[in-house]
Amino acid sequence: MCGIVGVIRSDGRPVIQDLGNGAHFLQHRGPAYAGLFVWDPARRSFSLEKGEGLADDIFKPLGEIDGDIGLAHTRYKTFGSGGILNAQPFFDAFGSIALAHNGHITNVPQIAAELEDRGQALAAKCDAEPLLRVLALWFEHFRSADPKGDEREMMFKAIAEVQVRVTGAYSVVVATPDALYAFRDPHGFRPMVLGVRENGAGSAVMVTSETLALEQNGYRVVEEVAPGRALHIGRNLEIDQRELVVRDPRPCAFELIYFADVESKMMGDS
C-alpha cells in the first residue's frame, strides 16, 4: 500500500505545493518514506528528493521548487527493502522518464532475468524499479525504430507492453519532460482517480490514489481511472485515454475497509 500523486499545470507555475498537499492527505497510505520528482522545462532540469518519514517532514523543508510537471509518493513497504535508495519516485535518465507506483509486482525475478540478458541490472530492491525498466526499455525500443515518431504513441505502446509483461497490482504515474502519464493494471487492484482544477489557483490535472487528495487541493473529481486504462495529459491539459488491454476488474476490498481514508470515495462507495 502506497500513495501516488501526479500533477501537470497549464500555466507553467510550480506544482510543488499541489504535490506536497496531495502527499499530505495520503500519508496514511505510506508513512515510512516519501519522495517527489519535478520537471523544470525552463531550465531543462529536474529535482528528485526522497527521505525517510512522513511526507510533511520531508517536503516542507524543501521550499519552492520550479517545475510544472511532477510526481509525489508515500511508501509503505510491501516488497524489497527499506532505505532511501528504495524510496520512490524512480528515474531513468536515458529515457527521461520518472515513475511512481502503488502496488505489488509478482514477477520481479523473471523481469530481472530478462534485463540481465540485455546487460542491465537492478540497483534497488523496490518493485518500482523493474516496472520502470520495462517501460523505459520498450519506450526506447519504439523510439529507436521511429526517431521522429510521436512520444505519446510510443509511450502508449510501451505501457501496453508493461501491462502484458508485468504481473501483479500497479497503479502508476509517469512524468516525462512534456507530459504526465498514468495507467492501471488490467485488474485494477489498487485505486486511481482523476481530477481537474479550473479556478484562481491555476488550471491543472491531478492523478492520485484517493479522492481526498483531489478535493483538499481544490480539484473536481472527474472519475476513477478504469482498470487497464492509460492516460496522457499534455500541458494543454487535454486528457487522452486509451484502453490498451482487456479489463478484468478485481479491486482489492481492503482498500475500502482498511487502507483508504474515511473521507475518500472509491469503487462507487465511500
Task: Provide DSSP, 114-167.
Answer: HHHHTT----SSSTHHHHHHHHHHHHHHHHHH-TTS-HHHHHHHHHHHHHHH--
AA identity, residue 190: R
Cα gap 107→118, rounded to integer Å: 17
Per-residue pLDDT at 137 exceeds 70: yes
Q: What is the mean pLDDT of residues 47-75?
A: 94
Per-residue pLDDT at 2 exceeds 90: yes
Rounded to the nearest angstrom, the gap between the alpha carbon of residue 183 and the centroid of all alpha carbons in its chain is: 8
Q: Please identify every residue annotated as catalytic.
A: 2
* Short-list 133, 137, 171, CA closest to 154: 137
> What tens digit of pLDDT does each residue of 91-133 get?
999 999 999 999 999 999 999 999 999 999 898 889 999 999 9
| Domains of the chain, earliest start first | 2-106+169-259 (3.60.20.10)
3-state DSSP assignment of residue 261: coil
Q: What is the mean pLDDT of residues 198-210?
A: 90
For residues 247 and 186, the answer to whether their CB atoms sit within 8 Å is: yes
pLDDT at 9: 97
Per-residue pLDDT at 214 exceeds 70: yes
Scored b (16 or more CB within 10 A) or e, 71-105 reads bbbbbebebbeeeeebbbbbbbeebbbbbbbbbbb
* Short-list 267, 224, 228, CA closest to 247: 228
> What tens digit of pLDDT does each residue of 143-169 get?
999 999 999 999 999 999 999 999 999
Of residues 75 and 79, the one with the higher pLDDT is 75
**Edge-to-edge strands of the sheet including 168-176?**
90-92, 97-105, 168-176, 179-184, 229-234, 239-243
Q: What is the mean pLDDT of residues 186-199?
A: 93
> What tens digit of pLDDT does each residue of 227-264 get?
999 999 999 999 999 999 877 666 655 454 455 555 66
